[in-house]
Amino acid sequence: SSYSNQFIIYIESRFEHYNTNIIIPFQYRITLLHLSNPLIIERLFSPISIVLKFIRLENLQLRNIESKYFEELLIHLISLPFLYSLIVSCTDNVQNKNVFYHQLFRLPVLKYCKLSLTGNSQSNPLSMATTEFSPIEYFIINQLYVDELDAFLSYIPQIRRLSIRNLYKSPKKSIREFCPIVLNHLTQVSLNMIDVTFDEFQFIIKNLFNRIEILYISTKDDRAYIDANQWQELIQFHLPNLRIFDIQHKYSFNKTNYLLYDGLPDKFNSLFWFERKWFFEHRIYHSQNDDQAIFFSTNPYRRKQHILCEESNKNINRNDEKTHIHSVNHLLIQTKKAVINCQNYFPNITEITLFHNFIHQSKNSLSNQFKKIFPLKQLTKLVIHSNLSCFSKMIELLRYIPYIHTLNIELLSFDDPQRSYHLTNSYVLQQNETFRLVSRINNIQNLTIISSYEMELVRFFVNLCPRLKHLTVNRFGWWRLEPFLQFLLSKTNKNTRHLVSLCIEGASDNDIDVIRSFIKAQKDVNIDLTKEINLSADDRYVQYSIYLWW
C-alpha cells in the first residue's frame, strides 16, 4: 500500500476525519506522530490505554500537554517496543519532576529525548541511580538545577550529547556535595547558565564533563567567565579533548563596573587561543534601560541566534572582509549603527527581531538596509519590540518579505501620550496603497500581539492579515471579552474567515466564566476550550492562558 504511516495533526476541525478514516484503521502501522493541540491529544488517547495499539510507534511529539495527562501516558509508553524518540512540552508547572524522570528513564529503547518541564527546585532530590539505567544518548532539557545534575546524569550513562537550556544555581544544596560520574560517551555539552558562578561551573566540568570535545556555553554578568587565564587553566588541565569552544557572555555596565571588565576580552588574543583557532569579539550596545556588552566566539561561529549591536573599539581578530555566517537563522537587531557597520553576511536568516532603538533611528527603507546583510525573501518570522509609531515602517518592510508566516508585535510604552494619535493614524494607514498591497500578498497565519487592548489595534492587524489562522493576545488592561470574541467570530468579517484558534494570555477565573458563557450562546459554531495555569514566580497568584479552537 502507498498509505503514509506518518501523521502530523494540528487543526482540530479536521481531526475527526483523520481519526476515523486514517489513524484508527492504521494505528498498528504509524511510526511517527506529532500532536500540538491539547484537546486532540486527549481525544486521540481516550481511553489513555489506546496508546498501546500504536505498536510500531518510533517518534512521538506532544506539545502543550498537561503534566498530569503526560504522567498517565508515560506509564503506557513503557510498553511500546520501538519508541526511540520523544519530544514533550508541558503547559503547567510541575510539582514533582522526579516522577517524570523515573518514568522516562524506564523507556526501554529511547535514544533521543527533548523535554520541557517547568517547576521550582525539587524539595526531595533525585536519588542516584544504582541498578536502573536509560539508553538515552541525546537529551535536551529546558530546566535543571545544579544540585540535580549528578543524580540526573547517573541514569543516562550512554549520553553522547547534552543540552540544558536553563541551568539554575541551586538555592539549597552545596555544589561541593557532588558525586563524580564517569560519562565515557559524552562528547558535546550545551549550557545556558542562570546565576551559576564560574567557580561552580569549574566544579561541574571537573566532576562531570571533563571528557567532552565540544562546549557551548551562554552566561551573564559574572566577569570571571571572560577571564582568559582561568579558562586557559581549566582547558589545559581538565578539558584535554576540547576541540570546539563556543562562549557567549552578556553583561550590563555603567561608569563604575565598566572598569572591572575593561581589558579582560583582550587577553583572549594570545598564542593559546590562536593555536586552537578560537577567536572572539567584544561588542557594546545600548538598550532603553542600560548599556550592555556581549563577548562571543566567532570562528567557528555555530550559534543559531546572533545579536547585532554596536561594536566596541576593541574587537578581537576582526577582518575587514565580509564574513558569511551560515549557522545563524535568527538575527536580533539593536541599532541602526549596528546594521550600517555590520561586516558579516547571514545567508540563512529566517527570523529577525527588531528593537525600538533601531526602528526609531531608521529614517530610510528598512528593506534596503537589510538586504546588505541577509536575503529578505527567505524570512518566515518577524518580531517587533516598539511602539505604535512603527506601523508604517513595518508595513513597508512586509512588502519585501512576502513569505512571512509568523508576526509577533510587542508594543511598548502603554502610557504613550501619543497613543491616541497613532491609533487614529492606523486607520489612515489602512487607506493607502501600500497597506492594501501588503494585505493582498502577505501570508501571515500566526499573529501575537502584546499590548494594552484597543479594538482599533485588533482591527488593524486583522485587516492587514486576512489569511490569519492563529491569534494570540494578552489580557493587559480592562476590556470586555464579548465584543472582542464577537468581532473575531462574525460571519460577515471576511478577514477572519481562516481563523481557527485563539489564545488569550494572562486571563483570570472570571474571564474563563465569561468565555464559557459566550461559547454556550453560540448556535452556529462549535468552540472547544482548554486552559493552561501560569503561577507567578512566588506562587502568590494564578493566571491562565486560554485556548479556543473552532
- Within 8 A by CB and 6+ apart from 549, the residues are 12, 13, 37, 39, 500, 501, 527, 528
Identify the three-state secondary structure at position 351.
strand
pLDDT one digit per residue (tens) for the chain, 550 residues = 334 455 444 444 567 777 788 888 888 888 999 888 777 888 788 888 888 899 999 999 998 888 888 999 999 999 999 999 999 999 888 888 999 999 999 999 999 999 999 877 666 788 899 888 999 999 999 999 998 899 999 999 999 999 999 999 987 656 656 777 889 999 999 999 999 999 999 999 999 999 999 999 999 988 899 899 999 999 999 999 999 999 999 888 766 666 566 677 788 989 999 999 898 888 877 655 567 888 888 865 567 888 887 654 444 444 456 678 888 999 999 888 888 888 889 999 999 999 887 877 777 778 888 988 999 999 999 999 887 778 888 999 999 998 999 999 988 655 555 666 666 677 788 888 999 999 999 999 999 998 865 677 888 999 999 999 999 998 766 667 888 899 998 888 999 999 988 988 888 888 888 888 888 888 777 677 776 666 544 445 567 788 888 8
What is residue 36's predicted lDDT score, i.e. its pLDDT? 83
284, 310 in Cβ contact below 8 A? yes
What is residue 116's predicted lDDT score, i.e. its pLDDT? 94
The strands making up 542-549's β-sheet, listed across from edge to edge, are 305-308, 330-333, 351-355, 381-386, 406-411, 446-450, 470-474, 501-507, 542-549, 528-535
What is residue 424's predicted lDDT score, i.e. its pLDDT? 67
Locate 463 and state its grid cell.
485587516
What is residue 320's predicted lDDT score, i.e. its pLDDT? 52
Q: Which domains does the chain have, with CATH numbers?
A: 1-119 (3.80.10.10)
What is residue 520's predicted lDDT score, i.e. its pLDDT? 86
- The model's pTM is 0.77
- Which residues pair with residue 37 across a beta bridge? none
284, 312 in Cβ contact below 8 A? yes
How far is the C-alpha of 373 from the C-alpha of 183, rounded, in Å?
Answer: 42
What is residue 94's predicted lDDT score, i.e. its pLDDT? 85
What is residue 356's predicted lDDT score, i.e. its pLDDT? 81
